[in-house]
Amino acid sequence: MAESQGQQLELDVTNIAHGGISVARHEGRVIFVGDAIPGERVLARVTEDSKSSFWRADTLSVIEPSEHRQMHVWSSASVARKPEDRAGGAEFGHIVPAHQRELKRQVVVDSLKRFAKLESDVATGVTVEELPGDPDGTGWRTRVRLHVDASGRPGPYAARSHRVIPVTELPLATAAIQEAAPLAARFVGEEHVDIVQAGTGGARLIVGQQKPTTITEYVGEREFRLADTGFWQVHTHAAQTLTSAVQEAIDGELFDPRAHNLDLYGGVGLLAAAVADRFGSSTRITSVESDKAATGFASHNLSEWIGAEAATGRVEKWIAQLASSANSHDRARLRASTIVLDPPRSGAGKQVVQSIGGLQPAQIVYVACDPVALARDIGLFADRGYDLTALRAFDLFPHTHHVEAVATLTRR
């Protein structure tokens, strides 16, 4: 163990960092502190010495609390517990919701400044918008994964750990999920248990590698079929929020329904349907997804639009092949296109950005769940001739550090 580990320090917390941790300094060294709020003075214990310029620490007690501190919404994650016994997954639960959104806004703005070199009004003027629902930010999760320990007990992992923490409540989950969650049961030999609340039929348990079944979700009156083990937005209002946000993010004057429009990392077709719903039955759009089962559902979900289709393939390979094989007519349709992409947390990355930039679409709508990855990719798109022209952020994950953003990039 490094000599610094286990050391207890009184720290003045100065600002927020990406990942749900706060920043303090001790004798010139940066310390990332969990369960603290900028403006507080806390007693913290060093847990990790990276042998570089920073340490990590956990808050043991709060000496001078922030005016934005509240009683944690989840007692199992409270600072009153030993750090190693705190449930993960609600790292902002000790902060009043309005200030959570302010801290998330700061992270988005700082990420754009540091990784995209952007300080424009579009970048700095963003706010993090609250979703409908319970104003205290609980009761929104429609999907929960419980991990299982060696004795078969289910529960969340502790923060930054694979240690299962038994709990008696899941306050971020919907009432149906909370009622169905088998918190007192035993699942010896299993790795995890999922509880899923679909748009119809209530909550269901999925134990381990259980065979998937088909469920139906709704956005307004539109139905989407998918596997109960497949991806769907977690917040009860997230799918509708992102549908509307993507529709509004597209510049109608630049949209050509006859162009080779794309929906990358398209899942079961949620955002492709959002585009087609806005621009009508003549819309041509291809949804690309690596999961063959999801692509099959996307084909069904998009079947009412004759110009919509779903393709199975890894986006980086599919888009590179498109770029290399397109003839002059295809390239003209691609230059007129709108490309929507919703990549995983790691972002699209250099290869995909270069391929998209090479197609020279009229506009790009980028849906992101990680502000650092988004900012990095915006910087890469800038090198390919695209400017950030609109940006919205949404609090799709209250009481966590996660924030969703929808960015519009327009070709110069």
Residue 95 bridge partners (DSSP): 69
The token duo for 42 is 């806390």
Long-range pairs, 381-386, Cβ under 8 A, ≥24: 381/353, 381/356, 381/357, 381/409, 382/116, 382/117, 383/357, 384/353, 384/354, 384/356, 384/357, 384/358, 385/357, 385/360, 385/411, 385/412, 386/357, 386/410, 386/411, 386/412
Query: Are 218 and 224 spatial neighbours (Cβ–Cβ below 8 Å)?
Result: yes
Give catalytic status of residue 369 as yes or no: yes
The neighbour count for residue 176, using CB atoms within 10 Å, is 18
| Backbone phi, psi, residue 110, to 5° | -65, -40
User: Is 179 among the annotated ligand-binding positions?
Assistant: no
**Per the residue annotation, which of 369, 379, 387, 392 is the catalytic one?**
369
Instruction: Give the span between the Cα atoms of 351 and 316, in whole angstroms.
Output: 7
User: Is 289 among the annotated ligand-binding positions?
Assistant: yes
- Of 261, 276, 187, 177, the closest CA to residue 224 belongs to 276
User: Is 330 among the annotated ligand-binding positions?
Assistant: no
The token duo for 40 is 């507080």
- Please enumerate, by residue number, every residue annotated as part of a binding site for S-adenosyl-L-methionine: 233, 265, 289, 342
Annotated binding site: 233, 265, 289, 342
Active site residue ranges: 369
